[in-house]
Structures are given as structure tokens and as C-alpha cells.
Amino acid sequence: MAELFYEDDADLSIIQGRKVAVIGYGSQGHAHALSLRDSGADVRVGLKPESKSRQKAEEAGLRVVTPAEAAAEADVIMILVPDPIQADVYAQDIAPHLKAGDALFFGHGLNIRYGFIKPPADVDVCMVAPKGPGHLVRRQYEEGRGVPAIVAVEQDATGNAFALALSYAKGLGATKAGVIKTTFTEETETDLFGEQAVLCGGTAALVKAGFETLVEAGYQPEIAYFECLHELKLIVDLMYEGGLEKMRWSVSETAEWGDYVTGPRIITDATKAEMKKVLEEIQDGTFANTWIAEYKAGLPKYNEYKKADEDHLLETTGKKLRSLMSWVNDKA
Ligand code: NDP
Ligand code: MG
Ligand code: MG
């Protein structure tokens, strides 16, 4: 079972006594920089001079310097730029300024797990990853609450890396909700698997296949959209609140019976065998290497897939229908 840590397990004064650099000011970066500052830490934000995020950070009262200056000043350096560019930012702006006893922090383990970043042996290497988008992390902090986080230590050069990571997590409000100890390997592999097999990849493919099956059989796309996409939210909300049990309690007995007899015909042993292959390709680095190569090549296939789905009847139908439902928050 997982080890959990709360407010009393973490000493905020550790992070308050350090100089923190938050590199990047996006979804996670803004939440970390603002909440750590409000928790009494000495924070500077590292951004390129031409960065679009710069003005926002300055307006929030943060001191913004270049990533290299931030790394040189600080002794805790949190890297919150997009994963595919972290290795370049690390090599150019951070590595030259690392001193013995510094701490390198991450919000996701990918670059350490697959060796794209190889820190020197005399620095602590930690992860603090809130289990929620940055805007929720910040909002909960402002309301005096916290989003749970997972914390890991890859390299403990000082002997105090875990206490430092817990202190950082407390500065984000995470110990109010609970912090779970993990490893870079577990976080990275489960995160990639979850988003590919279930959350993003699996769900998107399931919705599309269901929608296409109904439309190809002659049903109206608008009706198919409601049945295969729109109503998914109601089901997921029930599962989120009370697991499969609450979902099955809420739907009709007919729907529940269909769930039992048809679900296993859709997600079959063959699907699970494929999931195992997907997991193996995550574990052996195939996925990460392919993705970084695609990114470096300028995202040719990524853009092709994106375009194909933008033009899918599911999406064009959905756009039209959502504009009729004022309560659906479609920011597009
Ligand atoms: P975003 O894409 O939201 O933000 C990236 C930030 O990095 C922007 O401020 C961008 O500034 C800046 N940036 C881009 N290039 C550089 C550069 N060369 N030097 C300095 N700054 C740069 O990232 P996320 O917050 O989504 O992700 C950051 C990390 O957090 C990742 O490791 C991710 O896996 C992890 N994470 C993200 C979660 C989320 O909710 N999004 C959840 C948990 C973990 P600009 O473009 O203005 O120049
Ligand atoms: Mg992820
Ligand atoms: Mg129905």
C-alpha cells in the first residue's frame, strides 16, 4: 500500500530557507511559483526574454529573469517547461549553473526516467507532481485547501532530498490533501499508460468507434453524438464520485445489464493483450524515443492526426450541438 504524508509530516521552513527557481510559467509553473511565494519561499521565475508568459508573471508580482539567471541564483530549480524541450533547456541554461548540494525538481518524470536529462551525482533530484491541472492547484491553494500530489526522489545527494520534496509539496498546499510517495519510474510509466490506454487514447477511440457504428447504420449524427459523447460526462461523474458501484446504482437496470454482458465484448482479451504491449513499449523506452523524435522533426504525424480528427463528423456535429447548449462550457 502507498505511504501517505500530511501537514505534520512536512517542515515548511526547509523550502522557506532555500532560493527557488521555477522555470516556465504555464499551467503548472504559475501555480508553483505563486503558491510557493505565498508560502514564504524566495521565488524567481525563469523565462526567455521574448516569452509570452513573462507579462503575466510580472503582473502577479513575481521577479522574472532568464532561465540561466534563475538557475544560477537558485539552489532549488523546478523545471516546468514542456517535456519535449526540457533536455535542451537543461543543457543550455541549467546544467552550467548546478552546484553541489543544489536540488533539481520535476513535475513529471519522463526526462529522468528515459535518460534525456542526466544530472550530476552531487545534486538532489526530486519530483513533486500535483494530481491536477495547474489552475486547480492554484485555486485550491487560494481557498486554503490543496490538491493531492505525488512525490519522488531519484537521487539523494544531500541525505535530505525527501524532506525537501515534502516541504516543497507543503508549499503548494498538497500536504493538506495528502502526498503519496512514488518513484520516477512508477510515475512516468503509469502516467503514460493511463493517458494512452484509458484516459485520452482509449476513451477517444471508444467514443469515435461507437459514433461511427451508429452513423454508418443510418442513425442521425446528432443522436449518435448525444449517446456516445455527451452522456459520457454523466457516467464519468458518477464513477468519480462513487466508483462503478455508484454508476450502476444510478443508471437503469437495463443499462446495468447491458454493461455486464456487452462491456467484455468491446474490451476483449485481445484489447488487454494490446494494452500489455503498449505498456511494454512504455517500459522499454520505445514510446518516449518515438515521441521525442517526432517532436524534433517538427510534429509531421502529430499534425496529420490532429487535422484528421478536427474534420471528423463527430467533431463537426459536436461543435454545432454545443452551441445550442448554453450550459455546456465550450471555450472554443
Ligand atoms: P505549459 O505548456 O503549460 O507551460 C510551459 C511554460 O514553459 C510556458 O510558460 C512557456 O512559456 C515556457 N517555456 C517554453 N519554452 C521555454 C524555454 N525554452 N525556456 C523557458 N521557458 C519556456 O506546461 P505544463 O505546465 O503543462 O507542463 C510543465 C510540466 O508539468 C511538464 O513536465 C508536465 O508533464 C508537468 N505536469 C503538467 C500538468 C498539467 O496540469 N498541465 C500536470 C502534472 C504535471 P512561453 O511559451 O510563454 O514562452
Ligand atoms: Mg501525462
Ligand atoms: Mg441512453
The domain ranges of the chain are: 4-183, 192-324
**12-34 CB burial, b ≥16 within 10 A, e <16:** bebbeebebbbbbbeebbbbbbb
Q: Which architecture characterizes domain 4-183 according to CATH?
A: 3-Layer(aba) Sandwich (3.40)
Q: Which residues surround ligand 2, an ion (CB under 5 A)?
A: 191, 195
Please count the residues of the chain.
Answer: 332
Does the annotation flag 92 for ligand binding?
no
H helices of 108-231, in order, are 110-113, 134-142, 161-171, 174-177, 184-193, 201-216, 221-225
Write down the ipTM of this complex: 0.97
Residue 326 has what pLDDT? 81
Span between the terminal Cα atoms of the chain, in Å: 42
Distance CA 127, CA 187 (A): 9
Does the annotation flag 28 for ligand binding?
yes
Residue 42 has what pLDDT? 98
Q: How far is the CA of 263 from the centre of ligand 3 (A)?
A: 15
Does the annotation flag 294 for ligand binding?
no
Residue 1 has what pLDDT? 85
pTM confidence score: 0.94
Q: Is 32 a catalytic residue?
A: no
Q: How far is the CA of 25 from the centre of ligand 1 (A)?
A: 6
Residue 327 has what pLDDT? 82
Residue 185 has what pLDDT? 98
Q: Which of 51, 97, 112, 172 to mutate to test the pocket of ligand 1 (most atoms within 8 A of CB)?
A: 51
Distance CA 286, CA 293 (A): 11
**Which regions in the chain score pLDDT beneath 70?**
329-332
> 318: closest CA among 261, 309, 27?
309
Q: How far is the CA of 227 from the centre of ligand 3 (A)?
A: 6
User: In terms of C-beta density within 10 A (0-12 exposed, 13-18 middle, 19 or more buried), how is residue 252 classed?
Assistant: exposed
Residue with cell 446504482: 249
Closest C-alpha to ligand 1, atom 18 = 89
Phi/psi at 183 (nearest 5 deg)?
-125, 160
CB distance 85 to ligand 1 below 6 Å: yes
CB distance 29 to ligand 1 below 6 Å: yes
Distance CA 246, CA 213 (A): 28
